[in-house]
Structure 1
Amino acid sequence: MTETETAIFQPGAAGRGQTLQTQIAARFAQQIHAQLLAQGSRLPSVRACARQQGVSPQTVVAAYDLLQAQGLVEARPKRGFFVRTPRHQPPVAAAQAGPPPLPTHATALMRGMFAQMHAVGSPGLRGMPGAGTLPAAWLQTPALTQAVRRLLRRDGVDAISLEYGHPQGDPQLRDALCQLLAALDVRAQPGQIMTCMGATQALDLITRAFARPGDAVLVEQPGWSAQFAQLAQSGLQLLPVPRGADGPDLERVAHWARVRKPRLMVVVSRLHNPTGHSMSMASAHRLLQLAREHGFLIVEDDVYGPLCEQPSPLLSAMDALEHTLFISGFSKLLAPGWRVGMVAASRERIELLTDQKLLANLTSPVLTERAVAFLLNQGALRRQGQHLRERLARARKQAVRLALESGCRFESPPQGLFGWLDTGVDADLLAQRLLDRGYLLAPGRLFDPQGMSTTRMRLNFPHALDAAFWKAYAAETAALRKSRG
Structure 2
Amino acid sequence: MVGTMRATGGWDRSYESQTGTDMYSYVENVYSVSVNRLNCIGNSHCPDTMVQPLAFSLNRAQPEALVDQIVREVERALQRQTLHAGMRMPSIRSLAKAHGISTFTVVEAYDRLVARGTLVARRGAGFFVAGAADSRDTGPTSPGGTLAVSTTASEVTNAWLLSEIFADDAIAVKSGCGWLPDSWLDEDGLQGALRSLSKGPGAHFAHYGHPRGYGPLRQWLARRLGELSIDAPPEHIVLTHGATQALDLVVRTLLKPGDTVLVEAPAYCNLLAVLRLAGLNVVGIPRTEAGLDLAALEQAAQTHRPRALFVNPALQNPLGTSLTPAAAHRILQCAEQHGFWIVEDDIYRELAPAGTPSLAAMDGLSRVIYVSSFSKTISPSVRVGYLACSRDLAHEIARSKMVAGLTSSEINERIVHAILTEGRHRKHIERLSDRLTRSRARLITQLQSHGVTLLAQPEGGMFVCGSLPQTSRPARELAEAALLESIMLAPGEFFLAHNEPCHWFRFNVAYSDDARLFRFLDRAAAGKLAA
TM-score when normalising by structure 2: 0.69
Instruction: State the partner residue of 2:331.
Output: 287
**SS class of match (2:448):** helix
Aligned structure 1 segments of 4 or more residues deviating by more than 3 angstroms: 84-91, 480-483
Aligned-partner Cα distance in 1 for 2:182–2:223: 28
Aligned-partner Cα distance in 1 for 2:406–2:482: 43
Aligned with residue 182 of structure 2, among 131, 136, 144: 136
Aligned-partner Cα distance in 2 for 1:85–1:334: 32
| 2:194 paired with 1:148 | yes
| 2:506 paired with 1:439 | no
| 2:261 paired with 1:185 | no
**SS class of match (2:343):** strand
Shift of 1:309: 3.3
Count of residues in Structure 1 that have an aligned counterpart in Structure 2: 388
Inter-CA distance 373–85: structure 2 relative to 1 (3 Å threshold): closer
Q: Which amino acid aligns with 2:189?
A: A
Q: Give the conservation status (yes or no) of the 8 Å contact 1:411–1:422.
A: yes
Instruction: State the partner residue of 2:426.
Output: 382
Instruction: State the partner residue of 1:109.
Output: 161
| 2:478 paired with 1:421 | no
Aligned with residue 357 of structure 1, among 379, 393, 401: 401
Question: Which deviates further from its counterpart, 272-281 or 369-378?
Answer: 369-378
Instruction: State the partner residue of 2:210.
Output: 166
**SS class of match (1:383):** helix
1:261-276 alignment runs, 5 A limit: 261-276=305-320
CA offsets 1:377-430 (integer angstroms, 9 cap, x no match): 233322221111011111112111211111111111133211111111221121
1:212-291 alignment runs, 5 A limit: 212-291=256-335
| 2:507 paired with 1:464 | no
Shift of 1:460: 0.7
Q: Give the conservation status (yes or no) of the 8 Å contact 2:523–2:529.
A: no
Q: Give the conservation status (yes or no) of the 8 Å contact 1:300–1:327.
A: yes
Aligned with residue 198 of structure 1, among 237, 242, 248: 242
Q: Which amino acid aligns with 2:236?
A: Q
Instruction: State the partner residue of 2:367.
Output: 323
**SS class of match (2:510):** helix
RMSD: 2.7
Instruction: State the partner residue of 1:32.
Output: none
Instruction: State the partner residue of 2:503.
Output: 455
Instruction: State the partner residue of 1:311.
Output: 355
Shift of 1:442: 0.3
Q: Give the conservation status (yes or no) of the 8 Å contact 2:161–2:490.
A: yes
**SS class of match (2:382):** coil
What is the percentage of aligned positions where both structures have the same residue? Answer: 34
**SS class of match (1:185):** coil
Question: Which deviates further from its counterpart, 348-357 or 401-410?
Answer: 401-410
CA offsets 1:151-192 (integer angstroms, 9 cap, x no match): 2323x22x1122211111111100111122122221211111
Shift of 1:468: 2.4
Shift of 1:229: 1.5
Aligned-partner Cα distance in 2 for 1:482–1:105: 20
Shift of 1:137: 1.9
Inter-CA distance 104–178: structure 2 relative to 1 (3 Å threshold): farther
Instruction: State the partner residue of 2:523.
Output: 475
Aligned-partner Cα distance in 2 for 1:463–1:436: 18
Q: Which amino acid aligns with 1:330?
A: F
CA offsets 1:210-253 (integer angstroms, 9 cap, x no match): 11111111111111222111111111110111112243212222
CA offsets 1:59-97 (integer angstroms, 9 cap, x no match): xxxxxxxxxxxx99xxxxxxxxxxx98797499xxxxxx
Unpaired segments of 5 or more residues in structure 1?
Answer: 1-70, 73-83, 92-102
Q: Give the conservation status (yes or no) of the 8 Å contact 1:309–1:416.
A: no
Q: Which amino acid aligns with 2:196?
A: R
1:330-409 alignment runs, 5 A limit: 330-409=374-453
More helix by share: 1
Aligned-partner Cα distance in 1 for 2:466–2:232: 38
Aligned-partner Cα distance in 2 for 1:179–1:311: 18
Aligned-partner Cα distance in 2 for 1:162–1:363: 13
Inter-CA distance 205–319: structure 2 relative to 1 (3 Å threshold): same
Inter-CA distance 109–153: structure 2 relative to 1 (3 Å threshold): same
**SS class of match (1:227):** helix
**SS class of match (1:462):** coil
CA offsets 1:262-316 (integer angstroms, 9 cap, x no match): 1111000001111111001111001001111111110000112222234310000
Q: Which amino acid aligns with 2:190?
A: L
Shift of 1:111: 3.3
Q: Give the conservation status (yes or no) of the 8 Å contact 1:411–1:421.
A: yes
Aligned-partner Cα distance in 1 for 2:375–2:253: 24
Aligned-partner Cα distance in 2 for 1:469–1:449: 27
Aligned-partner Cα distance in 2 for 1:147–1:86: 40
Q: Which amino acid aligns with 1:129?
A: S
Instruction: State the partner residue of 1:43.
Output: none
Aligned-partner Cα distance in 1 for 2:530–2:167: 32
Q: Which amino acid aligns with 2:220?
A: A
Instruction: State the partner residue of 1:78.
Output: none
Aligned-partner Cα distance in 2 for 1:104–1:356: 33
Inter-CA distance 104–265: structure 2 relative to 1 (3 Å threshold): farther
CA offsets 1:450-476 (integer angstroms, 9 cap, x no match): 111101111111111112221222123
Aligned-partner Cα distance in 1 for 2:299–2:520: 44
CA offsets 1:309-368 (integer angstroms, 9 cap, x no match): 343100001111111000010011111111100001010110010000110221121111
Aligned-partner Cα distance in 1 for 2:368–2:462: 25
Q: Give the conservation status (yes or no) of the 8 Å contact 1:199–1:328.
A: yes
Aligned-partner Cα distance in 2 for 1:105–1:302: 26
Question: Which deviates further from its counterpart, 415-424 or 303-312?
Answer: 303-312
Unpaired segments of 5 or more residues in structure 2?
Answer: 1-83, 86-116, 121-126, 131-154
